[in-house]
Every structure is written in C-alpha cells, then in structure tokens.
Amino acid sequence: MSKLHRPLGTLSDERDPVRLTPDSAGWTYSGLRVLSLAAGETRIVRTGEYEAFVLPLAGACTVRVDGQVFELAGRDSVFTRVTDFAYVPRDAEVELSTAGGIEVALPMARCTRRLEPRYGPAENVPVEVRGAGQATRQVTNFGVPGVWDHADKLNACELITPGGNWSSYPPHKHDEASDCEVVNEEIYYFRVAGRDGVTPSREGFGLHRTYTSDGELDEDVAVRDGDVFLIPRGYHGPCVAAPGYPMYYLNVLAGPAEERSMAFCDDPAHGWVRETWEDQELDPRCPVTSHEGRVS
C-alpha cells in the first residue's frame, strides 16, 4: 500500500475519521483532524502547538475558545454551500458543541506565534472559477494568503471538480525555495459525491497523480470519499473526477517560510496547457456553490 495514500479508516475511527499529525505524516508542519459529533454532543480539542481552522463539512456547531463564542451555521454537505468557519490558536482549549450533529474538519499547522481566535463569515469567502473546458473547477479560497491573513503558518482552500473534469492541473510542485515556489507540505482530503451530486458516498471515485522528476515518487491512485493523500514533495496533479461523481478536496498547506505563501512551479512539460484556456469556454457547472447555496 502507498505510504502517501491513506484510505478512509486507516487514520482513525468512525468518531474521528481523520487524525493526522505532522509526526504521523512523516514531516514537520501540516496536519488534519476530522471529527464526527452526534446530535447534542460536546467535544474538547486542545490545540497544543498547532493553530487550526474549524471548518464544518456537514452540520452546524458552536465554538467556544478563549472566552469567545462563534456560531458556525455550516452546511448540509461540502457540495451544497460555502461555509463559515473559525480560526483557533495554538495552546488553546476549544469546545465544540452541536445541536443536530456535525462532521467538522480541523486543518492544522505547527506554529510558533499565538494569535487571537477569529470568525470567518461565509459571505466574505471568495469563490474562483479556475481553468477552462474539461479543466474547469471551483476554488474556494477561505484560508489563503491575501484573503485570510490571520494565521502564522496555516494555508487552506477547498476545490470542487465537476464529474468528468480535471483539477490540480497542470501538475505543479512546491518543495524548494526558488523564484517561483516556496516549500509547503500539502494534504489532500477528498470527498466524493454519489449519484445525486450532493451526498458524499464511497460509491464514486476519482484519480490522483503524484510524481517526481527523478522517478522516486510515481503514484497513480484511485481515491474515494474520505481518503487522504500526502504530498511531501514532487509534482502533483491531475485530480480527475470520474464522470457522474463530483469531487471535493480540502487542501492544507504549511511550511518553513517566514511569510505564508502558496507559490508553486508548473511541470515545464505541461505548463503550456494554461495558454489554451483562453480559447476555451468555462464549464457552465462552475461555480457549483456560493455562500447562498448551490449555484448550478
């Protein structure tokens, strides 16, 4: 089995579907937890040396931290709406409570500075349509530099790729400090919709590729709902959504740079593809969601 592909169930259990620390990933900065809380349940999360976002995947919750209270309206599914979220600092005790039940992601980064907790309204989250033709996809930039600057190391965004389309393309990398890239460890957390295009299901699947120029990494894997893939280095992309099954993924990035950045370099063998998008129509299925709900 690939050490980079972590299928659902290999990282934790039903109560905590994902528990990935930098140590268990084999690197230094990026981590991810996904928690499942039943209706009426309350959980305490101690952040320790990590800052984090509290990002509802399905459901709503109340976040209490450092004497502040944030009511997260959340969403029914990652395929139905852009959600509000909260930032919580390192060395914090975070209380999560929910009336109706929630599945919530905590993208994390090991950091040194302790910032104040803060609420992120859904209506302030930019939704970008990237690419063209069969490479059209939605990028939801809730936690990226220039949009959300209230973080020390943590970067995060969401993508939705309509069924049959390609994303994370052209393949790109960010594993060295150069004129076009910075060093970032990256996590892909996948959700795949079933036949209704809205409800996550293990029935559907997508494909993901990661490789290096020296051939040391060369992986093509099928990913299903709830899977995780780690990018320690090398080019990654494309992510391909099988026809009929829209694909979502949460990207979590962090690295050693003093200033947060998501800069990358394309694989020079494929970067020319970007120039072809000017002559192609956008897929009308994008954008898929906004803070008000489904668009298409």
Residue 278 forms part of a structural domain: no
| Integer Cα distance of 138 and 291 in angstroms | 13
Tell me if 41 is assigned to some domain.
Answer: yes
Work out how many domains the chain is built from and give that number: 1
Any domain includes 249: yes
Tell me the residue range of the domain where 83 lies.
5-272
Asked whether residue 161 is domain-assigned, the answer is yes
Give pLDDT tens digits for 72-95. 999 999 999 999 999 999 999 999
Residue 204 lies in a domain: yes
Report yes or no on 294 lying in a domain.
Answer: no
Residue 189 lies in a domain: yes
- Residue keyed to tokens 């409800």: 199
| Rounded distance between C-alpha atoms, residue 296 and residue 286, angstroms | 7
Average pLDDT of the chain, as a whole number: 97
Mean pLDDT for the stretch of residues 91-103: 98
251: CATH: 2.60.120.10
Residues above pLDDT 70, as percent of the chain: 100
211-225 residue pLDDT tens:
999 999 999 999 999
Report, in angstroms and rounded to the nearest whole number, the Rg of the chain calculated over CA atoms. Answer: 18
The whole-angstrom separation of Cα 221 and Cα 231 is: 13
Confidence of residue 161 (pLDDT cuts 50, 70, 90): very high
pTM value is: 0.97
Indicate the DSSP class of residue 242: P
pLDDT computed for residue 81 by the predictor: 98
Residue 263 lies in a domain: yes
